[in-house]
Structure 1
């Protein structure tokens, strides 16, 4: 999908009401953990933000995904957007997304043109309320992975994400007792599922509505 077209579509759709829950649900594991959409969050929830950074490569639109390293934790080895926890000194979620992207993949935050925010999504497993931020740059960034937080950087093409060929389903076994019917995107042989896939579900809807 052409870079300029993607940016224009996103500008159009972000000026309107966001698709929200309905779009996120399309890529949600089943059965749905409805705590994601509860208006009353746990009193100790944490705030975070991620950045969907659109950039041009041979006139096509791309964005980076990262693979988390293996560690003892709920998101070990998973594919995600650059992002992380909101610090006490952060001005807002946009600041958090830009700061974290700079720390994790060396994005020059001062060069990013912010288009807007998508719908927040609560992640019960890690107790985070995540705010996805969309921005763009007019060049290919010189990504550098932060070794402790990023195992690999994946350049995902927007045209591939909207293609039905990479949208798949599988049964995921979580622990010994939980089985989830899980939709996912297969990107460079990696499984993009869970909250990241749900955010991409709304992103795709924004592209469609922005025509």
Structure 2
């Protein structure tokens, strides 16, 4: 008889209050070269990827959910100071409710591949049409604690688009400067022990002048991998 899967988090869990953990292996890390964060630099990065090693590939599982394939889009908006487009999920969703996330979701049988799924889900969630998007490539798969194997698809987005968020899935859509997210000084490790299991995660809190956007968990983990690629 197998032991039950430990509960994900304690009641009334607030990830922002998770104790800080030592930034092991992060000593001396620097932001990527500024040219890497430009439109030309990002295209060159994916056309000729550097040798690099992802830092995070799999979270500790905390769900009995059957494994599923998913894809998300990292939409990099090419303003003079590039930004990343993110969503705030609605509170009633069955997984990752209320969290900050990339647009994306499960692969459907009709999807040709992960890229097709990421583009379809992005259009369904926030109304961003494909003709604004230039796909650059993919990051390594990331397995969440809820048993989703996620393919992150990185893309450039031309400014000028109009979004139509799906109110059933998305509470808000906002942008965060890419150079903020790719600065390791803005990455922090947090965690705690619950039911004998250490839960830990990266967080990248961003204050947009009106409110704090607490980016954490799988979203922050995939961004940490993107940082590792950009700084290689």
Is 1:8 the counterpart of 2:40? The answer is: yes
1:182 match: 201
CA offsets 1:102-134 (integer angstroms, 9 cap, x no match)? 111111113311111111111231x21111101
Asked if the contact 2:186/2:205 (under 8 Å) is kept, the reply is: yes
Asked if the contact 2:36/2:45 (under 8 Å) is kept, the reply is: no
2:35 & 2:158 partners in 1: Cα distance? 9
Change (3 A) 1:18 1:148: farther
Structure ID, larger Rg: 2
| Structure-2-length-normalised TM-score | 0.72
TM-superposed CA distance for 1:72, in Å, is: 5.8
Is 1:139 the counterpart of 2:159? The answer is: yes
TM-superposed CA distance for 1:6, in Å, is: 2.7
Is 1:63 the counterpart of 2:84? The answer is: yes
Number of paired residues? Answer: 194
**Secondary structure, counterpart of 2:199 in structure 1:** strand
TM-superposed CA distance for 1:2, in Å, is: 6.9
Q: Which has the higher contact order (CA 8 A, sep 6+)?
A: 1
| Structure-1-length-normalised TM-score | 0.78
1:161 & 1:148 partners in 2: Cα distance? 27
Unaligned residue ranges in structure 2 (runs of 5+): 1-32
Change (3 A) 1:206 1:105: same
Is 1:161 the counterpart of 2:181? The answer is: yes
**Secondary structure, counterpart of 1:24 in structure 2:** coil
1:200 match: 223
Q: Which has the higher helix share?
A: 1
1:39 match: none
1:156 & 1:55 partners in 2: Cα distance? 10
**Secondary structure, counterpart of 2:56 in structure 1:** helix
